[in-house]
Structure 1
Amino acid sequence: MGKLSASIAKKVAMALSGLFLVLFLAQHFTINFTSVFSEETFNSWSHFMGHNYIVQFIFQPILIFGVVFHFVMGIVLELKNNKARKISYKSYKGNSNSTWASRNMIISGAVILAFLGLHFYDFWVPEIVHKYVESNPEDAFRYYTELVQKFESPVRTGIYVLAFVLLMFHLWHGFASSFQTMGWNNKYSKAVKGFTKLYAIIIPLGFIVIALYHHFFNQIPH
């Protein structure tokens, strides 16, 4: 019973961390999407996020912990499930046992984690260097140019697109599963599941549109 309770607790913790990251993803998308239609709005919101002490020293550490915890816990649970599973995937036929997304959560999750490393290298590390290492003066108008410059490279843009396609598959199974793990089973269950599927498509697709837009239509002249 103790092992069962511990296993359930891990799954609930995994689900809660996933739901937290889904909220962050929506907030991150909202800010980034403003770069498509308003340079001023994007700079304003990015500057606020980059200089608000609550965001920087409370929410940001919580976010970093949540990312690491979610993916480490996911790998641990997936390895445990693979070990306990009696039916080999060699016998898998069509969708009779599970979907591709559910069978490859560990793969999509690992690729997304690697992408987040690239994302931190592209945006978070330069931000830290700019503010705390080089001690540059505050500049509320630099964010838009820095964002667009990141998508000049076709290789980097392609990596971003691929990562968000995999995120789409990851969310397609994982977002809905989080509610199931939390015991969500009432008259709203069908509507919630529909919402998670729409979210899994719209948010990653939106990030892809942002990357492609800046790569093809919005290059900064040198």
Structure 2
Amino acid sequence: MQPLLTKAVSEFQSDSEFKGTITVSDVGSAQGIADLMDNQADIAASDISPTQTGLDETGLVDHQIAVLAVAVVVSPDISASLTNISVSDLRGIYTGAITDWTQVAGWKVAGMPISVYYQRAGSGIRTVFETYGIMTALSDQQLASYSSFSVFDSSATLTKALQGAKGAIGYAAMPFCSEVTMLQVEGVQPSYENVYTGKYKIWACQHLYTKGEPTGPVKSFLDFLSNEDFQESVAEIGYGLISEMKVSR
């Protein structure tokens, strides 16, 4: 959520009378919620709910500001031969059962080992992908046991590495996917039109949590995020609009 919040902070400080300092730290969803609960932060940004991180959400107030799609992305050499992947094959790849592209439905050229990219523990993007993409929770121990698997600390670093890779697949937040190829999943294109109607399944609301109802500058900032002018910016930088959702989660 960092691109969204960085833009929000810049616009909020330009448009409002607030003269203080707002710091955006990319620590991951789980750590952000933990920091909020320990009074180390005023707002926790998360792709997932506190219960999905194993934390108690008692006393927290959820402010949903956007929708985020998570896309399955591949290296340039794979995108030339494959446009769609099934959930079954995707799960097989991430559980180590499928190790060569010839085992993937729709692959019609010579065999090639699969390089698998995944995101670090505590990442909300990883939780969204495992929950709604492959419907399987994977442990760090399991993922690290495969020599062809590589871990990344963010969607930005994963997609950058993917651009120069061979035989690679990963997943990333859609705002970071403009320079890589996104696969259809079960024949459905990753797009916000498909998220809004529930056709595309790998998505999450973008949550900002506070301890209790916000007041003062925190309330002013959250109100700014929900106003119509800033919601236009939400769509411009690769997020979906809460107001357009026809389904809920």
Calculate the TM-score normalised by the size of structure 1: 0.29
Higher helix share: 1
Higher strand share: 2
Calculate the TM-score normalised by the size of structure 2: 0.27
